Amino acid sequence: MVAKISIGSSLYGALAYNGEKINQEKGKLLVTNKIFDEGTGKVDIHRAMEDFKCYMPLQIRTEKPVIHISLNPHPDDKLTDVELSDIAREYMEKLGYGNQPYMVYKHEDIDRHHLHIVSIRVDENGKCLNNAYNFHRSKAITRELEQKYDLHTAERQRETKQEPVKKVNPSDRNVKKQLVNVLKSLMHYRFQSLGEYRALLSLYNITVEEAKGEARGREYHGLVYSATDDKGNKVGNPFKSSRFGKTVGYEALEKHVAFSKEQIREKKLATHTKDAVTAALRQTTIRAKFIAALKTKGIDTVLRETDAGRIYGATFIDHNTGCVMNGSRLGKELSANVLQEHFASPNADTRLPNFAPPYEPTSLTEQVSQQEVSSGGGLDLLSFDTQGTDSDEEAFIRQMKRKKKKKQHPNI
| pLDDT value of residue 372 | 34
List Cα–Cα distances, 290 to 155, 279, 297, 362, 383, in angstroms. 34, 10, 11, 30, 31
Select the more confidently predicted residue: 230 or 366: 230
- For the chain, how are helix, strand and coil distributed in percent, rounded to 5? 40, 20, 40
Write down the H helix ranges in 191-326: 194-202, 250-267, 270-283, 287-296
The domain 2-159 having CATH identifier 3.30.930.30: the answer here is: yes
Mean pLDDT of 357-379: 34
Q: What letter would DSSP give residue 63?
A: S
Give CA–CA dist 19/13, Å, rounded. Answer: 10
Which residues of the chain form CATH 3.30.930.30? Answer: 2-159
How confident is residue 396, by pLDDT bands cut at 50, 70 and 90? Answer: low
- 7-16, 123-132, 333-342, 398-407: which range is least confident on average? 398-407
Mean pLDDT of 199-224: 88
* Count of other CB atoms within 10 angstroms of residue 64: 14
How confident is residue 61, by pLDDT bands cut at 50, 70 and 90? Answer: confident
Quick: pLDDT tens for 13-25.
999 999 999 999 9
Mean pLDDT of all residues belonging to the chain = 82
Write down the H helix ranges in 44-98: 45-53, 81-95
Give CA–CA dist 112/27, Å, rounded. Answer: 12
**Edge-to-edge strand list for the sheet holding 2-8:** 2-8, 66-72, 114-120, 102-107, 27-33
Give CA–CA dist 121/129, Å, rounded. Answer: 6
Mean pLDDT of 158-168: 60
- 6-20, 287-301, 331-345, 394-408: which range is least confident on average? 394-408
| pLDDT value of residue 238 | 93
Select the more confidently predicted residue: 388 or 315: 315
| pLDDT value of residue 225 | 95
Pairing of strands 323-326, 373-374: unpaired
Mean pLDDT of 200-205: 96
Half-sphere exposure of 326 (CA within 13 A, CB side): 31
Quick: pLDDT tens for 68-86.
999 999 888 888 999 999 9
